[in-house]
Chain A
């Protein structure tokens, strides 16, 4: 009884029409709504089935097969996953990716926040600075910049030139297993433009009264940063951290071009690059699909961990505003 009343209410709310006219007028109007609704979402809906749902099911199936694209896939059970455990290159790629994500993402976010605070000012020229700090980010993913980066860190390159100026010895950045990954990390840290803009928008939202009140209480710069800026900004920090971490896990172009296919000694063999090598160069599609599913699981797990931890450090204001 109660249920049907609820249902009728929600329906009339949905139809946004007087209840009395509903039955007669709606059937036609509703039918036309159903049709035009599906008409409008049909581009996405077709794409969802053809380019997402079917591929994802196929990918899941392939993960349990051997498939070289020449002959039909052969069911192999969990063989691909077992092979991964024994594959030393696989573990190199895991190590390289975790190292990369754990170094590059915090660096990128720290730069982003520091520069956002520097640019959170009404001075003249701030717009130009903002554009200059953001510029590397719009080209950062391109092959052009990756090709350039190789030369910046080349033996004769810019970095070594400036090191020589201060009397430091030359470093074979790209050839040394200890330093090669840092060329990728620095490249990623250099592109802090997007999180910077998001931080900047967040900083503008913090009410000035909070700082004034803190100043009256005698709070210094550091105290203001830790007790006002950081807590007020924590939802934005959280958002940036999640997005950038996911982005970090799927980095690819840089490792293929800057460090030439994960060289030296696979120390820069990022995970997606290894998927590419296995699936498309060695034509081990099944192994590649299995690796991709592990990646999906790891990304989901890390995202879940971040969400889980967020209740401890992310500070939300009362929901009124949103």
Chain B
């Protein structure tokens, strides 16, 4: 912040002509140096794990703080990829993609459909159901997991992806609300013009609204993907066969304090599990930042 450097700058003698320029450089340095150090400190643990995954196992703890492996090696990745319990890591990776990909697709599409219904159609009981939806927003899911578990168990859905995926077909109150707010910002004249041109309600949704709400749907998709990719409790409750494990469960099994000692391999697989998360972050940062700043979405 410029003004932090204010007092220091005022004390500088204004002797030379280029004092103004120097002042700017000093102020810029005084801002960037501490900010850069702080931000590096923030991501240091992540970089550390990433760097450690390329270190020879004996170096991980001997040379603990360094970010540059002395003898870079891919051994940890090869060993880690072999997985455990006879299941290789690619299975866990595919499982995570099935869960996160399926959940994201289902949840975003169904949320958009319901959001259109609430935002653009006037029907009997709309306000009542809308209030019900807002109430569920405030409900911590912890109240629901026990009866839901019992229900899915009686359906014989344990050790399948059904308990994790089927509820997503019903959308999420949070994203319905978010997309609704977005639809409300679109001019109603669009709907009316389309209706005059002979478009039905379903046509209005698919041809007019759906293309226009892409930004909101992308934001919803990113967050749903993150939350399901990193979800631990859902898979923990419903998946107990290692063949069905997602990355979260596999990493936990891998790093179990009782068995896990090969930290190189654990760090390698943990780093690998974060690659899709960071890839999305790099490509879609704009949507993320907008999503959080405007709707107050909270990650995690």
Q: List A residues at the B interface (Cβ < 8 Å).
A: 14-15, 32-41, 43-48, 50-52, 54-56, 58-59, 62, 69, 115, 117-121, 123, 125, 128-145, 147-152, 156-158, 161-162, 190-191, 193-195, 197-198, 200-201, 221, 239-240, 243-244, 246-247, 249-250, 252-253, 256-257, 260, 272, 275-276, 279-280, 285, 288-289, 292-293, 295-296, 299, 303
Contact indicator B289/A285 (Cβ below 8 Å): no
Chain B contacts for A43, CB-based, 8 A? 110, 113-114, 169-171
CA–CA, A198 and B293, complex, Å? 5
A293 and B45 in contact, given A33-B121, A44-B133, A139-B230 (Cβ under 8 angstroms): no
Give the contacting residue for B230; candidates A141, A147, A161, A295; CB below 8 A.
A141
- The distance from the CB of A146 to the nearest CB of chain B, in whole angstroms, is 8
Q: Is B31 at the interface (CB under 8 A from chain A)? A: yes
The listed residue with most A CB atoms (<10 A of its CB), out of B36, B147, B233, B248, is: B147
Chain B contacts for A120, CB-based, 8 A? 1
Complex A-B: 23 CB contacts under 8 Å: A33-B201, A41-B114, A44-B110, A44-B170, A48-B132, A48-B136, A58-B150, A59-B143, A119-B35, A138-B288, A139-B230, A139-B278, A141-B232, A142-B229, A143-B273, A148-B48, A151-B49, A158-B45, A191-B300, A243-B298, A250-B140, A257-B232, A288-B146
Chain A contacts for B161, CB-based, 8 A? none
CA–CA, A32 and B195, complex, Å? 14
A44 and B140 in contact, given A69-B150, A140-B299, A289-B147 (Cβ under 8 angstroms): no
Q: List B residues at the A interface (Cβ < 8 Å).
A: 1-3, 28, 31-32, 35-36, 38-40, 42-43, 45-46, 48-49, 61, 64-65, 110-111, 113-114, 116-118, 121-124, 126, 129, 132-133, 136, 138-151, 153, 167, 169-171, 173, 176, 201-202, 205, 226, 229-230, 232-233, 237, 247-249, 251-252, 254-255, 257, 263, 266-267, 270-271, 273-274, 277-278, 281, 285, 288-289, 292-294, 296-300
A244 and B298 in contact, given A69-B150, A148-B49 (Cβ under 8 angstroms): yes
Contact indicator A133/B285 (Cβ below 8 Å): no
CA–CA, A299 and B48, complex, Å? 37
The listed residue with most A CB atoms (<10 A of its CB), out of B2, B116, B139, B299, is: B299
CA–CA, A58 and B124, complex, Å? 28
Give the contacting residue for A289; candidates B146, B169, B299; CB below 8 A.
B146
Contact indicator A39/B117 (Cβ below 8 Å): yes
Give the contacting residue for A132; candidates B42, B123, B229; CB below 8 A.
B42
Chain B contacts for A240, CB-based, 8 A? 296
Give the contacting residue for B298; candidates A48, A247, A276; CB below 8 A.
A247
Give the contacting residue for B296; candidates A39, A121, A198, A303; CB below 8 A.
A198
- The distance from the CB of A14 to the nearest CB of chain B, in whole angstroms, is 6
Contact indicator B201/A36 (Cβ below 8 Å): yes
CA–CA, A140 and B148, complex, Å? 27
CA–CA, A35 and B125, complex, Å? 12
Give the contacting residue for B277; candidates A48, A138, A198; CB below 8 A.
A138
A40 and B299 in contact, given A144-B270, A250-B140 (Cβ under 8 angstroms): no
Give the contacting residue for A148; candidates B110, B144, B267, B289; CB below 8 A.
B267
CA–CA, A276 and B42, complex, Å? 31
B258 nearest in chain A by CB position: A260
Give the contacting residue for B31; candidates A44, A45, A121, A134; CB below 8 A.
A121
A32 nearest in chain B by CB position: B201
Contact indicator B146/A299 (Cβ below 8 Å): no
Contact indicator B3/A137 (Cβ below 8 Å): no
Chain A contacts for B248, CB-based, 8 A? 142-143
- The distance from the CB of A83 to the nearest CB of chain B, in whole angstroms, is 16
Chain B contacts for A33, CB-based, 8 A? 121-123, 201
Contact indicator B150/A285 (Cβ below 8 Å): yes
CA–CA, A256 and B249, complex, Å? 12
A147 nearest in chain B by CB position: B255
The listed residue with most B CB atoms (<10 A of its CB), out of A40, A54, A143, A201, is: A143
Contact indicator B136/A143 (Cβ below 8 Å): no
CA–CA, A117 and B257, complex, Å? 40
A129 and B39 in contact, given A151-B263, A162-B65 (Cβ under 8 angstroms): yes
CA–CA, A195 and B176, complex, Å? 22
CA–CA, A128 and B132, complex, Å? 41
Chain B contacts for A117, CB-based, 8 A? 1
A62 and B293 in contact, given A156-B64, A272-B142, A275-B142 (Cβ under 8 angstroms): no
CA–CA, A94 and B27, complex, Å? 49
Chain A contacts for B281, CB-based, 8 A? 131, 135, 138
Contact indicator B121/A37 (Cβ below 8 Å): yes
Contact indicator A295/B142 (Cβ below 8 Å): yes
A295 and B140 in contact, given A129-B35, A133-B39, A142-B273 (Cβ under 8 angstroms): yes
A41 and B247 in contact, given A118-B35, A138-B277 (Cβ under 8 angstroms): no
Contact indicator B35/A56 (Cβ below 8 Å): no
Chain A contacts for B36, CB-based, 8 A? 129
Give the contacting residue for B116; candidates A40, A51, A140, A275; CB below 8 A.
A40
Contact indicator A280/B237 (Cβ below 8 Å): yes
Chain B contacts for A200, CB-based, 8 A? 293
Contact indicator B277/A136 (Cβ below 8 Å): no
Chain A contacts for B226, CB-based, 8 A? 138
